[in-house]
Amino acid sequence: MLSALGIEADVAVGHSLGELTALHWAGAMDLSSVLRMAAARGRTMAEHGRPGGTMAGVPADPETARRLLSGEPVVIGGYNSQRQTVISGPIDAVERVLERAEVAGIPGKRLRVSHAFHSPLVAEAAEAFGGYLAEERFQPLQRQVVSTVTGTVLPADVDLSVLLRDQITEPVLFAQAIAMAAKEVDLFVEVGPGRILSDLGRTDTSVPTVALDTDDETLASVLRVVAAAYVVGAARVHPQLFDGRLVRPVKDVDEFSFFASPCETDSDVVLPDSPPPVAAPASVNGAAPTGEPASLVLRQLVAARAELPLDMVGEDSRLLDDLHLSSITVSQVVNQAAQQLGVPPSRLPTNVATATVREVAEAMEALIGTGLAEDLTQPASVPGVDTFIRAFAVDLVEAPTPVPGPAETNAGWQLFGGHTDPRAEQARQALAGGGVGGGVLVWLPADCTPEQLEPALQGARAALTAGAGDRFVLVQHGLGASGLARTLRLEDPRIRTTVVHLPATLDVADRVLAEVAATDTYHEVHYDVTGARRQQVLRALPIDAGRVEQPLGAGDVLLVTGGGKGITAECALALAADAGAKLAVLGRSDLAADAELAANLERFAAAGVQARYLRADVTDPVAVRAAVDEVERLLGPVTGVLHGAGRNEPAALTSLDMDAVHGALAPKVGGLAAVLDAVDADRLKLLVTFGSIIGRAGLRGEAHYATANDRLAEQTRRFGAAHPTCRSICLEWSVWSGVGMGEKLSVVESLARDGITPITPEQGVAVLRRLVTDPDTPAVVVISGRADSLDTLRFEEPELPLLRFVDRPQVRYHGVELVTDIELTAGSDLYLPDHLLDGNLLFPAVMGMEAMAQAAMTVTGRSEVPVIEQARFARPIVVPPHGSTTIRVAALVTADDTVRAVIRTADTGFAADHFEATLRFVEGPVPDGPPEQVADDLPPVPLDPARDLYGDTLFQGARFQRLRAFHRAAARDVDADVATVPETDWFSAYLPDTLVLGDPGVRDALMHGNQVCVPDATLLPVAIARLYPAGSRMGTGEPLRYCATERERDGDTYVYDIALRTGTGEVVERWEGLQLRAVRKKDGRGPWVAPLLGSYLERTLGDLIGTAIAVAVEPNAGDQPELAVGRALGHAADLRYTPDGHAEQVDGLYVAVSHGAELSLAVAARTPVGCDVRPVSPRPVDSGAPVLGRYEALVDQVVTGFGVDRDTAATQVEAALDCLRQVDLPEHLSVTLTPIQRDGWLVFAAGATRVATFATTVGPAATPVVFTVRTDGGL
């Protein structure tokens, strides 16, 4: 971890067993060796260590400790610091020493160890371990180690077998080693569980000391180490550590003071001059920035939201703590400020609620100058989750009879071609009198030759001439000029273009007229000999092949045309390397003069591919045949062809001539014919031709190139049909970035602006491999990303399902991508008023998941409910109570069973992801397993959700109020009944009401029901690792029961696992890793609903004194102590008592129960505990003597130091003393008040014993009550 962060140590000090770790770090042994030795050391201790020994910590210097040891067979086992010495010896002797220390006012404590380590009692183990070490081999030390065996720096050639043997019996000289190492370093970092060593290190040295606590469940200790190392100049800080966090720039200083924060001491923060933006500044929605300082903009917005005068909102005001804005409101204000200042919302920190106005403003000002033009302007195309590159099959799909448009005035029609075919004139006349306006008709013969293409070029030029009408009609069959017609449509969008593929056997005039009448932009249709009408549709192929078969293998020869550069070279190398085939590359370049070509051939060789380059022009059939003969002589028969040759010299239709057309056709069509004629076609196993999406769609300035590629695809298809044993594929590529003609012609950026996504070389090669190895790949495949501007392409678009969140698609590529907008209002989305928090209508996370699931199912066309993974709710989605908000749901298919989805909003210019998730379509039932239901051996928790939770603890309105009863409501576990309400009206009557995930009310209850675990705050969802939805099972009205267990906690974030079961116990929904964040915290002063107090007390005790104690508060259970204890344990308990009145252990746990104020308080822990509950008692009239005797001073201290009224303070002190009297503590032991502070809480100390008391109010009458818990330790 430290090395990954760039922090390298100069010296190591290992405490006891840590000496092995230090030696491993220094290079004396590898990882497997150190683990082996540590295991052997432990076994040796267990087998040879003398039993009956122990160790203890004495908080005193070594000299004082020696005096306490006088006359006892006890030795000093560790010199930890001048304030702590460890002693080791027989148990009884160590106990006597501890008693002496107690009398002397030194509270020593036994350590939890199995033997008296570092003493003569483990001498036999040392000898045995020494024998083991004699067989080990050590390397000389490569780094500096200060040994805690010798207290000195170890020489490189030290005898480690002797050192590690002696270490078992010798004392740990940690204080001496630290003092020695401190001379060489300026920072100590403790690595290991806890932070004991760093605390010790601070005692005896002035060198700063921090701990990398490996038991820390958060990143806090890691970040602390990074910060400390940065301050002392030992490491840089990686920018990713600040991802999503508020960053405050500070000016450089010559010298840092350790742990003195520059953010606090240097109030005059001067930002460097911002670099000029690359484009004119503009806000996310297109409005110009205000020009006002960020701090003023932010203060004005905050003042308006908080309804405060502007002068009451200072730059140092904290948004959450000082101004009492909710985290939701803070997010809204920051988003609004970002829009006014021209800051891209996607770059904003997501957690600024605890920051000051100044801190947020400084972060925004820094972002203003660093925003990119594309971040600050509204993009022309609607952004999705991410870009994509996919393979599409070209299908001919049967289509119904077209619907004609409105009749138009008849006008003239020019005919080009078809002068020997009477049907052409019939068609012209039908058009002239058919009420479709005027234009140009081009008639081409079936399978026209390149020379017969000239009428199409002449007709296109005529259509571009003023006065020729606004229609262009091309009638053809087989090889023709479709690519030219598509290009015409794109070069002049005013020309309505119709392409009709029509066999000679069919009647023409009526069919052509009907197709033209139905054309308003671009229209293309195919008729077969039966008269069936079909349209060309691009259908997304699966991302992964259903089966994989390599067409080539070792010994095969792949002939490559197009030279050894660019796209063709990358793809040829991939195919040959995968198959182990040999390569023969044909090109026009002179190898001796082409450095790029020579470098690529060297790269082929380095990849283990045998390749030969032969110079030949594919447009010269004689040269091609000679080259093929040479290839077969050198490498063997050609069994595969990759035809990548092509020529692209853009020219608009107005300047295009037939020479240019022939020039484009020659390498593509003529070149392929020459190659296939030169090889033995019957031997071919693979034919791959490189076409272009331009042939399928057309492109401005590319009519001739489009025609060549269109004809190449048909040529490839026909060869495959004639040679079924040869896998024949024409790959129609979109533009590539970095390589290829698009890069050479400098059109990649312009095409990207037109909404056409370029293909990277890595993406292209990956798609090639997938298609070539799939025996089911169709003969013609289009490989493309988005092609928004190409309306000549038609993608598959099944009818949209009637679902609320997919009603206004902005982008749709079925099977690939869907982007849809939804306007949310309180009138259309009736659940919003039931999700009102701090005056804001919040779009619920459960509805966000529903929206993403609807989008995922729509884009894939699947009907099964997906599993939701890695869901994040980074930013709230807020709807004004009397207004609307537009959300945008984007979904992208990333695997055949996986969709990534995000939700963005107009509030942030659709630039930031508010919600996101991965949705996977997997078969199988919801997994069974924990968390399990509690046994029905206790009555339901006396907690009425409708009365006790909703409205105060829980903000959810009627539609979401689904909690019915609790079987368990503890600090870390929930077991509750929830209700489905099938007839709930979630949406307005005119909107679709289908919910694919099932009842969102129940699902929201699975989140907010966990509020009973943290009853002093509002829990809002942050993330979900995985959710298996119930779907329709959660809407039948059947009774359901959910169980939740806390998996972990990180500060204010709580992580739960949840199982939802039917009445028969079947798990119908499962949540793994639900993260909830606590906001809107209360001070705990009540009035409390009694059953919720147990969770609060249990969690707060853990926070205040680090003790894990199970706590339950049960109302009216004075005659049922077993019930209260059962609540704490989670199951029924059978209480038995010792003769002195203490409860016996239950399930290995110490338990205690107390009754008072019509409440029962029960606690359980692994170490002895006690408890007390009582009402606050009024103080009696002064009788002249203190009521609490010598402890009356504690009452005074509480009253003056904590501001507690005297009655409450006296009750708390009295309860604490009564708890202490339950155990036999020495009379002389003083009771002190610790500095631990929290509203209503006091913590007292008596030796190692801690007593925590909490004063609050309970019940509707707000009865003042004091709860008290005593502990010597915890779980």
The DSSP bridge pattern shows strands 471-476 and 439-443 to be parallel
What's the pLDDT at 319? 77
What's the pLDDT at 351? 61
Share of the chain above pLDDT 70, in %: 90
Residues sharing a CB contact under 8 Å with residue 1261, sequence separation 6 or more, in sequence order: 1087
What's the pLDDT at 951? 86
Q: How many Cα atoms are found within 13 Å in the side-chain-facing hemisphere of 229?
A: 23
Identify which has the larger pLDDT, 346 or 207: 207
Inform me whether the pLDDT recorded for 76 exceeds 70. yes
| CA separation, residue 152 to residues 84, 529, 1228 (Å) | 20, 97, 44
What's the pLDDT at 1081? 85
Inform me whether the pLDDT recorded for 710 exceeds 50. yes
Q: Tell me if residue 483 falls in helix, strand or coil.
A: helix
Neighbour-count burial for 512-539, b at 16+ CB within 10 Å, e otherwise:
bbbbbbbbeebbbbbbeeeeebebbbbb
pLDDT in tens, 903-936: 999 988 898 899 999 999 998 899 999 999 999 9
Superfamily of domain 816-920: Hotdog Thioesterase (3.10.129.10)
The CATH number given to 294-376 is 1.10.1200.10
Residue 558 · residue 572 · CB < 8 Å = yes
User: Predicted confidence band at 566 (pLDDT cuts at 50, 70, 90)?
Assistant: confident
Closest residue by Cα to residue 951 from 1082, 836, 841? 836
Closest residue by Cα to residue 1259 from 1012, 1015, 948, 996? 948
Count of beta carbons in the 10 Å neighbourhood of residue 1148: 7
Q: Token pair for residue 119? A: 């003493």
pLDDT in tens, 83-114: 889 999 999 999 999 999 888 888 888 887 88
What's the pLDDT at 2? 78
Inform me whether the pLDDT recorded for 618 exceeds 90. yes
* pLDDT-wise least confident of 256-270, 600-614, 666-680, 809-823: 256-270
What's the pLDDT at 266? 43
* pLDDT-wise least confident of 27-36, 628-637, 749-758: 749-758
**Domain 945-1082, architecture per CATH:** Roll (3.10)
How large is the average pLDDT for residues 137-163?
Answer: 93
How large is the average pLDDT for residues 147-157?
Answer: 93
pLDDT in tens, 1165-1185: 999 999 999 999 887 755 444
> How is residue 950 annotated by DSSP?
B
Sign of CA dihedral 466, 471, 472, 475: negative
What's the pLDDT at 242? 62
Inform me whether the pLDDT recorded for 1253 exceeds 70. yes
Reply yes or no on whether 882 is catalytic. Answer: no
Q: In what side-by-side order are the strands of the sheet with 1241-1246?
A: 1169-1175, 1263-1271, 1249-1258, 1241-1246, 1232-1233
What's the pLDDT at 168? 92
Inform me whether the pLDDT recorded for 290 exceeds 70. no
Cβ-in-10-Å burial (0-12, 13-18, 19+) of 215 comes to exposed
Question: H or E element: which one contains 67?
Answer: helix 62-69
Instruction: Please state whether 80 falls in left (phi above 0), alpha (psi between -120 and 50) or beta.
Output: alpha
What's the pLDDT at 217? 54
What's the pLDDT at 218? 64
Inform me whether the pLDDT recorded for 792 exceeds 70. yes
What's the pLDDT at 375? 44
Per the listing, tokens 């959300």 go with 887
What's the pLDDT at 1009? 93
DSSP 593-660: G-HHHHHHHHHHHHTT--EEEEE--TT-HHHHHHHHHHHHHHT----EEEE-------B-GGG--HHH
* pLDDT-wise least confident of 351-360, 487-496, 1256-1265: 351-360
User: Predicted confidence band at 267 (pLDDT cuts at 50, 70, 90)?
Assistant: very low
What's the pLDDT at 216? 63
What's the pLDDT at 311? 78
- Report the alpha-carbon distance of residue 246 to residue 251 in Å, rounded: 17
How large is the average pLDDT for residues 624-652?
Answer: 94
User: Predicted confidence band at 1263 (pLDDT cuts at 50, 70, 90)?
Assistant: very high
How large is the average pLDDT for residues 618-622?
Answer: 95
Closest residue by Cα to residue 1079 from 1011, 1023, 1024, 1003? 1011
pLDDT in tens, 1009-1033: 999 999 999 899 999 999 999 998 8
- Report the alpha-carbon distance of residue 317 to residue 32 in Å, rounded: 55
Inform me whether the pLDDT recorded for 629 exceeds 70. yes
Q: Token pair for residue 1066? A: 């079947």
- Report the alpha-carbon distance of residue 124 to residue 47 in Å, rounded: 10
What's the pLDDT at 277? 40
What's the pLDDT at 368? 67
What's the pLDDT at 103? 86
User: Predicted confidence band at 199 (pLDDT cuts at 50, 70, 90)?
Assistant: confident
Give the distance between the most distant pair of CA atoms in the chain: 132
User: Predicted confidence band at 702 (pLDDT cuts at 50, 70, 90)?
Assistant: very high
What's the pLDDT at 738? 59
pLDDT in tens, 850-890: 999 999 999 999 999 999 999 999 999 999 999 999 999 99
Please tell me the class of the 13-189 domain: alpha beta
Q: Tell me if residue 364 falls in helix, strand or coil.
A: helix
* pLDDT-wise least confident of 63-67, 105-109, 752-756, 1232-1236: 752-756
What's the pLDDT at 326? 64
DSSP 1132-1196: -----B-TTSPBPPBTTBEEEEEEETTEEEEEEESS-EEEEEEEPPPPPPP-SS-TTGGGHHHHH
Average pLDDT along the chain: 87
How large is the average pLDDT for residues 61-82?
Answer: 92
Inform me whether the pLDDT recorded for 448 exceeds 50. yes
Report, in angstroms and rounded to the nearest whole number, the Rg of the chain calculated over CA atoms.
40
User: Predicted confidence band at 257 (pLDDT cuts at 50, 70, 90)?
Assistant: very low
How large is the average pLDDT for residues 617-625?
Answer: 95
The CATH number given to 557-784 is 3.40.50.720
What's the pLDDT at 821? 96
How large is the average pLDDT for residues 1083-1106?
Answer: 91
DSSP 419-472: TT-HHHHHHHHHHHTTTS--EEEEE--TT--GGGGHHHHHHHHHHTSTTS-SEE
Reply yes or no on whether 523 is catalytic. Answer: no
Q: Which of 821, 999, 1004, 1057 is catalytic?
A: 999
What's the pLDDT at 751? 52
- Report the alpha-carbon distance of residue 125 to residue 711 in Å, rounded: 87
- Report the alpha-carbon distance of residue 1157 to residue 1116 in Å, rounded: 9
* pLDDT-wise least confident of 415-429, 610-624, 659-673, 1222-1236: 1222-1236
What's the pLDDT at 350? 58
Q: Which of 835, 914, 967, 1008 is catalytic?
A: 835
pLDDT in tens, 1037-1081: 788 999 999 999 998 999 999 999 998 999 999 999 999 999 888
Inform me whether the pLDDT recorded for 208 exceeds 70. yes
pTM: 0.72
